Amino acid sequence: MKYVVFPVILSILLSPMTALATFDSFSYNPENLLSDAEMVNSYSMTKKELDQFLKRGSLGTLVTPDVFGVPSTASDIIWQSSQQFELNPKFLLVLLQREQSIVEDKTPTQDQLDWAMGYAVCDDCSKSDPRIQKFKGFGKQVYYAAERISKTYLTELNTTGKTQTGIGPGIDHVIDGTVVTPANFVTSILYTYTPHLSGNKNFVKIWDRWFTREYPSGSLLQDTKTGGIWLIKNGIRRPIQSRAAFHSRFNENQIVQAVTSEIETYPTGKPIAFPNYSLLRSPKGTVYLIVDDVKRGFTSQEALRALGYTPDEIEDVGWEDLEAFAEGEPITLEVAYPQGALLQNNVNGGIFFVQNGTKHPIFSREILNANQINSSVVAMSPKDLDAYPTANPLLFPDGTLIAVTGSPDIFVVADGTRHHILDEQTFTAYGWKWNQIIWTNERSVLIQPEGDPLTTRLDEPETTLEIASNL
């Protein structure tokens, strides 16, 4: 029931109030359905991304009158309403799907289109009621629903702390016999628009299915509000605290834009504060070489000098700084290339990454560049190279998008494995851009072990992501 047209008298039976219940295995907080920032993020997707999103159903091709009677595409209608009333287009899409399943329906009825947002139609009202005919039509439904949410509900909440039905943050309200205390504006608005637990639970389900993403391990997320960059790894977010630390480890082209509320769904891990291969001295005087997330202590000053380091490259730190790193093998005079080096066979030109006395074949320049290895290449005879045991080939780092030149199949690397991105909707839903894809040879892709495919279209047949190579 939407309280949007005329006053409705509610009859509430006074009975003991029950605690909020769990209705099935889907877990959500009925008092905090979505963040306020998400609701008003009108730039959460581009117009082009909205066009692409609507291709999953008939709205992708729908042309119908807008609120002013001008023939328009469904995408234009949704986009213009989201921008005019400063609402997230994703928010409007979820409302459309919740009300009439219309976003994914390939053959909606005219009735679904005419009352697409359920706007002005109460539980016991007739759709033929003459008082609501002025709201009939897809264009009008989207426009007036967005207007009501933005200009009425948000205004009321900002001025009085509650909507016309008395629902507001921190105010106990009875919904379907259960006491609900909304935590924010958007939760108050959703219960005002539809005062039912099941309908708003369904809203969260659709939102999670479409827009709550579990980013692959190794993803770099930049907060669209603060500009801060976070590494998503093993289900946690790690803040990158300096430009030097970022550029010594990561490729700027891998950054994905994300809103604050989405980033904050991950628990915070230890910060990344020092550049890779930093030299850090503990309060006890032990000097450590930082290699990724591991600290390796030098066993002697001779071992330190043997690598060409000078005292002024050492930074004094506290124990709390060193706690962010796991303890690695000590560095002795006998350890070959603890910081890594590039050695090239001077006969056939093959290049290896040598670290800790073992060599890793490199199958392409793309793998070399993606790993941010900036050391110069040292030519060496095959005989000298044979002194180093051969280990596994160097792989693309986690978070990298890779593809074979000329192939339509795109993969993302996570936890050392490649995951096939099954459709374009998934690709765009994760915020990736086509120019982030690294195009390489087949061998460089296939050496990455294959993992589970990645898709967001949980209830639709799998389709292949097809794009022209080297866009």
Identify the CA nearest to 84 among candidates 128, 135, 142, 155: 142
Give the pLDDT score at 221.
96
pLDDT in tens, 91-145: 999 999 999 999 999 999 999 999 999 998 876 677 888 889 999 999 999 999 9
Pairing mode, if any, of strands 279-281 and 314-316?
Answer: parallel
Give the pLDDT score at 25.
54
The Cα 263–Cα 252 span in angstroms is: 18
3-state percent helix, strand, coil for the chain, nearest multiple of 5: 30, 20, 50
Look at the alpha carbons of 86, 90, 95, 97 in this order and tell me if their dihedral is positive or negative: positive
395-471 folds as TTHA1013/TTHA0281-like (3.30.2390)
The Cα 177–Cα 12 span in angstroms is: 9
267 burial via Cβ count (<10 Å: 0-12, 13-18, 19+): exposed
Token output for 178: 């259960």
Helix (H, G, I), strand (E, B) or coil at 4: coil
Q: Give the DSSP H/E element, type plus range, for residue 314.
A: strand 314-316
Give the pLDDT score at 319.
95
| Beta bridge pairs of residue 412 | 401, 419
Report DSSP letters for 401-438, one per residue.
EEEETT-S-EEEEETTEEEEE--HHHHHHTT--GGGEE
Rg of the chain over Cα atoms, rounded to whole angstroms, equals 28
pLDDT in tens, 107-122: 999 999 999 999 988 7
Helices H / strands E in the chain, number of each: 17, 21
- Rounded to 5 degrees, what angle do the CA atoms 207, 458, 428 make? 65
CA distances, 147 to each of 92, 154, 455 (Å): 11, 10, 34
Q: Number of C-alpha atoms within 13 angstroms, CB side, residue 452?
A: 4
The Cα 207–Cα 91 span in angstroms is: 8
310 burial via Cβ count (<10 Å: 0-12, 13-18, 19+): exposed
The CATH class given to the 213-277 domain equals alpha beta
The Cα 379–Cα 279 span in angstroms is: 27
- Rounded to 5 degrees, what angle do the CA atoms 39, 412, 34 make? 15
Give the pLDDT score at 121.
85
The model's pTM is 0.65
| Beta bridge pairs of residue 327 | 295
Identify the CA nearest to 46 among candidates 5, 3, 75: 75
Do 410 and 401 touch, CB atoms closer than 8 A?
yes
The Cα 27–Cα 410 span in angstroms is: 32
Q: Number of C-alpha atoms within 13 angstroms, CB side, residue 293?
A: 10
Q: Position of tokens 């205390």? A: 181
What's the DSSP call for residue 298? B
Token output for 190: 């959703």
φ, ψ of residue 363 to 5 degrees: the values are -90, -10
Which parts of the chain have pLDDT scores under 70? 1-25, 123-124, 456-471
| Beta bridge pairs of residue 220 | 231, 255
Token output for 122: 């109460």
264 burial via Cβ count (<10 Å: 0-12, 13-18, 19+): middle
Helix (H, G, I), strand (E, B) or coil at 100: helix
